[in-house]
Amino acid sequence: MEFTLISLLNGVTYGLLLFMLCGGLTLIFSMMGILNFAHASFYMLGAYLAFQLSAWLGFWPAFFLAPPLVGVAGALVERYGLRRAHRHGHVAELLFTFGLSFLAVEMVQLVWGKAVVDYRVPPSLEGTLFTLYSTSFPVYKGFMMLVSVGMLALLAALLAYTRTGLIIKAALSRPDMMQALGHDVPRIFTLVFAGGAALAGLAGVIGGNAFVTEPGMAAAVGPIVFVVVVVGGLGSLLGAFVASLLIGILQTFMVGWDYSIIDVARLFGMQLHSTSALTRLSLTQLAPIMPYLLMVAILIFRPRGLMGARS
Amino acid sequence: MSFVLSLLSRIGIMTIFALSYNMLLGQTGLLSFGHAVYFGLGSFATLHLLNALVAHGLPVSITLLPLFGGLAGLAFGLLFGFFTTRRAGTTFAMISLGIGEMVASSSLMFPAFFGGEGGITGNRVTGRGLFGIDYGTPLQMYCLIAAWAALCLLLTYGLTQTPLGRLANAVRDNPERVEFIGYSPHSIRYRMVALAGFFAGIAGGLSALQYEIVTAEALSDHLSGLVILMAFVGGTGTFYGPLIGAALVTVLQVAVASVTPAWPFYFGLVFLLIVLYAPGGIAGLLVQHKAVWQAGLLRRLLPAYLVAALPGAAVLLGTVAVVEMAYARGPERGDARLHLLFLPLDARSAVSWVLAAAAIAAGILLLKIASKQVAERWESVHAALAEAPR
């Protein structure tokens, strides 16, 4: 019971963080048809900027300054890079963001070095929020949850109730019509791209100190973000939300469950005496490839994803 | 001599790999981010077969062993290709990345097959050489690689001339019409992925024999990225483009890496510039200029190019200065002073930074003006080409 509850809480925290990344990616994808390979790089940039700014100004200024800065970087990338690559077609766009993700890692290493930087949880957010049975739940995880839920609620409200949201949604489905009505659609694209980048940056700000801030962090989370988008259904925000939580919770549980096929067989009264590597693999060991296995399974049984409208 | 041989051997292996990659990107329009999977699995399969044959005292033919790597690549191409090729475009790119990551991270889960962190090793000299060729020397190994590269070159070129190769081009350009004619784009993509897996596996097998060790690095996203770089820099629009790319990138990798630790940064920068400004790669530029040269109009372009080269050099120099100073200032290096050609730079003095930034800014400004000139010249050349009798 204790394990289940704590794992559930941890999984939801991780899943919400994932969704902050996937949400922006999905929005950008459904609007511009661009799969941004450099999206996880904005997450990394957010973490590094937050580290640098909190070293200079303290955590709270960094918390509020870093995401907009990442957003500005995103806008610049869209305006001066992607728009140019767009002329050469989708493959050029994909390759551009791919090259950018590679360059981002090199740039971060150039400025901050190859080692892990010391980006820590601020003292004001250290400590225990509550203790469940015997496991303590840290304040910072609660803070992460609060920030992600708050940010997502804000975003949902923005999309649903404001004029800006209305225009974005309209540009999403009928860009030509919006252009004809006199809206500057390329500028809306830049705005959405910047917004998605800022969201990823915010995820980096609150995720960078909870996990580790290092040059490999973008490569570690990048492929998982794509898996979430495929599993959820390309272009579906709700699908991405469900898939983020699903993968977050599943992965957290699998890390905790140290069972192998032999153990499961024993549960049903069978004694397996196998020494093959496959049967001795425990769920914990399988955790890193679980998202990919899930993706392959989804592709076989439901190619349009959990909530995708089209295949 | 042995350095040149090992460089040439690597170029040979990478040529096969880049050719197999271009079967997907250039010929079928499939952008794969996980092509190293087939290379790596071919490598592991080859070395395991070699070790097993030696352990059981069976006769080994090193000459034919890469073929087994190819068959392994083909088998995995048939396995993974079935899911990945249902759709093309962005979805395919994403799924290929997922499959690549899955295989790469499972390599650490099955240490019995993949050898864990250290990888697996073997010995290609089995002492059973025909005509005294036991592949003990680098030269003999190089000859083997060159022979396989030539064979693969012929086969991949031959493939472009077959109905399948032509249909792959058609699927790249307009899958809907191909479907209307009565072919299945899925099955055409599937066959191309499987065949590309075959050639990537051969390259992997040769690499296993050449280095006598295979680690998880052979499956990594790093290698997948490298092959994209080679194919794209060389040019995916032509058959020979990836050959140029494989040779150039491999040589530059060695040459630039020996001068500066920042070489991956420069590679990334060059890649981005090519994506943005010359999406046809080097081969694309060659094709463009060949037509101009044949019409005898190259004289009109050269002066504009020379004018543009000057600010271009300023931007290049400034960028290199900034990158090198950033590296020298960074946590990994102690000395902040460095020399760039004849220029003494100091990463701690503001003067060096300002100078470098000024060179970049002025260069970009002048480059904009110069590029207008180049564009005008190109227009006049195009007009002249259109008028010229064929």
pLDDT tens sequence across A125-184 = 777 777 777 777 788 888 888 998 898 888 889 888 998 888 888 887 788 888 898 888
pLDDT of residue A77: 92
- Residue B40: is it exposed, middle or buried by C-beta count within 10 angstroms (0-12/13-18/19+)? buried
Which ipTM did the prediction report?
0.85
Q: How many other CB atoms are found less than 10 A from the CB of residue B318?
A: 21
CB A288 within 8 A of CB A294: no
Give the pLDDT band (50/70/90) at residue A311: very low
- Chain A, 1 to 30: residues with Cβ < 8 Å from chain B are 29
Do residue A110 and residue B265 have CB atoms under 8 angstroms apart?
yes
Residues 6+ apart with CB under 8 A from A289: B102, B105, B106, B109
pLDDT of residue A280: 63
Helix, coil or strand: residue B227: helix
Residues 6+ apart with CB under 8 A from B147: none
pLDDT of residue A275: 55
CA distance A100 to A197: 14
Structure tokens given for B293: 């040269």
Do residue B98 and residue A295 have CB atoms under 8 angstroms apart?
yes
What DSSP element (H or E) covers B126? none
Span A26-45, mean pLDDT? 86
Listed residue (A309, A287, A149, A307) closest to A242, CA to CA: A307
Helix, coil or strand: residue B353: helix
CA distance A105 to A99: 10
Domain boundaries in chain A? 2-215
Span B379-387, mean pLDDT? 80
Do residue B268 and residue A102 have CB atoms under 8 angstroms apart?
yes
- Minimum distance, in Å, between the CA of residue B141 and any CA atom of chain A: 33
Who among A95, A114, A226 is closest to B275 (CB)? Answer: A95
Structure tokens given for B84: 């990945």
Give the pLDDT band (50/70/90) at residue A276: low
- Residue A268: is it exposed, middle or buried by C-beta count within 10 angstroms (0-12/13-18/19+)? exposed
Share above pLDDT 70 across residues of chain B, in percent, rounded to a whole number? 94
Residues pairing with B345 in the sheet? B338
Task: Please give the full DSSP string across B266-285, using - where no structure is assigned.
Answer: HHHHHHHHHHHH-TTHHHHH
CA distance B86 to B82: 7
Structure tokens given for B143: 């000859």
Give the pLDDT band (50/70/90) at residue A293: confident
Span B221-229, mean pLDDT? 91
What DSSP element (H or E) covers B343? strand B343-346
Q: How many other CB atoms are found less than 10 A from the CB of residue A106?
A: 19
Residue with tokens 């040019």: B235
pLDDT of residue B90: 79
Q: How far is CA B220 from CA A190, B158, B197, in A?
A: 33, 30, 15
CA distance B335 to B69: 47
pLDDT in tens, A278-287: 666 677 777 7
Do residue B90 and residue A94 have CB atoms under 8 angstroms apart?
yes
Q: For residue B265, list chain A residues with Cβ-Cβ distance below 8 A.
A: 103, 106-107, 110
pLDDT of residue B332: 57
Lowest mean pLDDT among A39-48, B47-56, B130-139: B130-139
pLDDT of residue B264: 85
CB B25 within 8 A of CB B233: no
Q: Which of A22, A25, A34, A106 to mutate to test the interface with B (most CBs of B within 10 A)?
A: A106
Span A238-257, mean pLDDT? 86
Residue with tokens 């068959």: B71
Structure tokens given for A43: 């997450």
CA distance A125 to B24: 51
pLDDT of residue A279: 62
CB B218 within 8 A of CB B36: yes
Residues 6+ apart with CB under 8 A from B36: B100, B104, B218, B219, B220, B221, B222, B223, B224, B227
Q: What does the mean pLDDT of chain B come to?
A: 87
pLDDT of residue A265: 66
Q: How many other CB atoms are found less than 10 A from the CB of residue A183?
A: 15
pLDDT in tens, B282-328: 999 898 888 888 887 788 788 888 888 888 888 888 888 888 887 77
- Minimum distance, in Å, between the CA of residue A53 and any CA atom of chain B: 18
Among chain B residues, the shortest Cα distance to A102 is held by B268
Residue A225 clears pLDDT 80, i.e. is over it: yes
For chain A, what is the HEC assignment? CHHHHHHHHHHHHHHHHHHHHHHHHHHHHHHHCCCCCCHHHHHHHHHHHHHHHHHHCCHHHHHHHHHHHHHHHHHHHHHHHHHHHHCCCHHHHHHHHHHHHHHHHHHHHHHHCCCCECCCCCHHHCCEEEEECCEEEEHHHHHHHHHHHHHHHHHHHHHHHCHHHHHHHHHHHCHHHHHHCCCCHHHHHHHHHHHHHHHHHHHHHHHHCCCCECCCHHHHHHHHHHHHHHHHCCCCHHHHHHHHHHHHHHHHHHHHCCCEHHHHHHHCCCCCCCCCHHHHCEHHHHHHHHHHHHHHHHHHHCCCCCCCCCC
Give the pLDDT band (50/70/90) at residue B335: low
Structure tokens given for B358: 């000024």
Instruction: Quote the DSSP letter at residue B213.
Output: E
Residue A269 clears pLDDT 90, i.e. is over it: no
pLDDT of residue B177: 94
Residues pairing with A131 in the sheet? A136
* Bridge pairing between strands B343-346 and B337-340: antiparallel
Who among B87, B99, B326 is closest to A111 (CB)? Answer: B326
Residues 6+ apart with CB under 8 A from A311: A303, A304, B87
CA distance A238 to A71: 23
Residue B368 clears pLDDT 70, i.e. is over it: yes
Who among B86, B98, B105 is closest to A226 (CB)? Answer: B98
- Minimum distance, in Å, between the CA of residue B72 and any CA atom of chain A: 20
- Minimum distance, in Å, between the CA of residue B332 and any CA atom of chain A: 7
Residues 6+ apart with CB under 8 A from A249: A7, A8, A11, A12, A14, A15
Helix, coil or strand: residue B389: coil
Residue A35 clears pLDDT 90, i.e. is over it: no
CB B304 within 8 A of CB B370: yes
Residues pairing with A117 in the sheet? A213
Residue B53 clears pLDDT 80, i.e. is over it: yes
Among chain B residues, the shortest Cα distance to A117 is held by B331
